[in-house]
Structure 1
Amino acid sequence: MVESGEIVTVEPRWVMSHDNSAAIIGKFGSIGVKKVWDPRRVVIILDHVVPASQASYANNHMKIRS
């Protein structure tokens, strides 16, 4: 049982995010993160502007897919 104030380290089976994740990719890079720990276990849903109506959205989608 986990008690209040304890620190728990877990390894999730899956992590999920949305297409606004493109905005934080640069933030991770600035702290030295080069890749996600296991790309097979990351799901990012493109749901806000699909299909992309502007080049900036299309660029964000490409950044997420890479």
Structure 2
Amino acid sequence: NVCTPVEVFPEEVRYVDLHVDVVRTPDGTVRRVDDDELDAAVEAGNVPEALAEKAREVAGALENAL
């Protein structure tokens, strides 16, 4: 899961799942999933475009690293 940094408070822990995920299967295949969910969240105004672009960059870096 690509998400915002985890924030820890005395009574709660908070983060925002940014929808896009990078998956590595048992056979070693790496793929990015749920870009459509991130796009929908941007269109709905739930995720700012700048944050979505950062999520895409992070997902791409994870894909390349795995």
Same fold (TM over 0.5): no
Question: Greater share of strand residues, 1 or 2?
Answer: 2
Structure with the greater alpha carbon radius of gyration: 1
TM-score normalised by structure 1 residue count: 0.29
Q: Which has the higher contact order (CA 8 A, sep 6+)?
A: 1
TM-score normalised by structure 2 residue count: 0.29
